[in-house]
Amino acid sequence: MRRLGRGHEISVYADEISDRKRIGKAFMGLIFLAAITELPELVTTITAAIEANAALLLNNMFGGIVLQTAILVAADAVIRQAPLTSYPRNPTPVLEASFLLLLLALLMSVISIGEAPLVAHLGYGTVLLAAAYALSLWLLRNLDNHSASWTPIEIPEERDQGQVSAWRRDVGQISFSALTWRSVAAAGVILFCGVLLVELADTIARQSGLGSSFIGVTLLAASTSLPELSTTVMAVRLRSYTMAISNIFGSNLIMLVLLLPADFFYTPGPVLAHVDRSAAFALVAGMIVTVIYVIGLVVRRNRKIFGMGWDSVAVLAVYLTSLVIFYLIR
């Protein structure tokens, strides 16, 4: 286990805890992995909110949704046999993506209608999103327990991987309490590395002249998404494909919940009242890439293009196009 980085270790621990406690891989990715890998976003969000930098805050969060979904492209490229979306054996990832789309649509509705204070400077939209997230978790937990009857028509064959067996053997010798403390330690490292990101991003935005919106939606979003990249790729290497996908959709759901603490610490007023063109487009792009993967999970084509599934190729094209648009409307 010493050869693994912190993000890699968390995936191994999550996989082992899932097996020992008989918790679904999808739910472990949705809650355990997603919560830990979102710690940098929590720090950067609160820091930007305290500094009243709404443009950096919102563009980092909404741009992160697009980027984190695009991480599945890298995970797909790691698999040689078949596309990533052809592996899940239950409909939970589709349900997670559907709830994510529902919350994104709800957020777009709040932005279109106009955010307004509910209590003091706290907007009604962020409170509504937090409540919708809690309801989504409850529904997903219950649906995950009753999804065994759903069976894909065709499941790709999986080849035995000696390295995976070695990882499982090593972590299998660790006690559950040690697994828990090691997970906390790994989360602490991730949290510590995210503390200085906002200050650095804000400095780069001012000195480069690119502005907080563009830096937030690109550089800062990419920096805070590195834990998701590490854990998702490792989950795929462990052949926990559902957990890898759920990690990304779960991280994006938590990203929307972080609007509530951001709104709390942003004292000038409701933070959603400051959504600019770049942040609004990031939301639309996030919905597009999510829909593409939902279609991929439902259609389940085994053919690969450039070493990836057609859905990952489409998501990569959308993400690269969005970067150009972000630069043009900055």
Question: For the segment 149-202, what is each residue's pLDDT rounded down to a tens digit?
Answer: 555 555 555 554 544 444 455 555 566 666 666 666 666 666 666 555 656 666
The predicted structure's pLDDT at residue 229:
78
Amino acid 154: pLDDT: 55
User: Band of the pLDDT at 146, cuts 50, 70, 90?
Assistant: low
Tally the C-alpha atoms within 13 A of residue 232's C-alpha that lie toward its C-beta.
Answer: 30
Tell me the C-alpha distance between 133 and 215, whole Å: 28
At the top level of CATH, the class of 6-328 is mainly alpha
Residue spans of the domains in the chain: they are: 6-328
pLDDT in tens, 17-30: 666 666 666 666 66
Q: Quick one: average pLDDT of 282-290?
A: 95
pLDDT of residue 23: 65
CB neighbours (10 Å) of residue 172?
10
Average pLDDT of the segment spanning 137-148:
71
Runs of H (alpha helix) within the chain: 6-21, 25-27, 34-37, 39-50, 54-78, 92-113, 124-144, 162-172, 176-194, 197-208, 211-215, 221-224, 226-237, 241-257, 259-265, 277-299, 310-328
Are 124 and 269 contacting, i.e. CB atoms less than 8 angstroms apart? no
Give the per-residue pLDDT at 119. Answer: 85
The torsion angles phi and psi of 300, rounded to 5 degrees, stand at 55, 65
Cα–Cα dist 121/101, whole Å: 27
Q: Is 8 helix (H, G, I), strand (E, B) or coil?
A: helix
How many of the other CB atoms lie within 10 Å of CB of 267?
12
* pTM: predicted TM-score of the whole model, two decimal places: 0.81
Is pLDDT of 138 > 50? yes
What does the pLDDT look like over 75-112, one tens digit per residue?
Answer: 998 887 788 888 887 888 899 999 999 999 999 999 99
Q: Name the least confident of 78-82, 290-294, 310-314.
A: 78-82
For residue 324, give every residue at least 6 positions away whose Cβ sits within 8 Å of its Cβ, in sequence order, or none: none
Which has the higher per-residue pLDDT, 39 or 134? Answer: 134
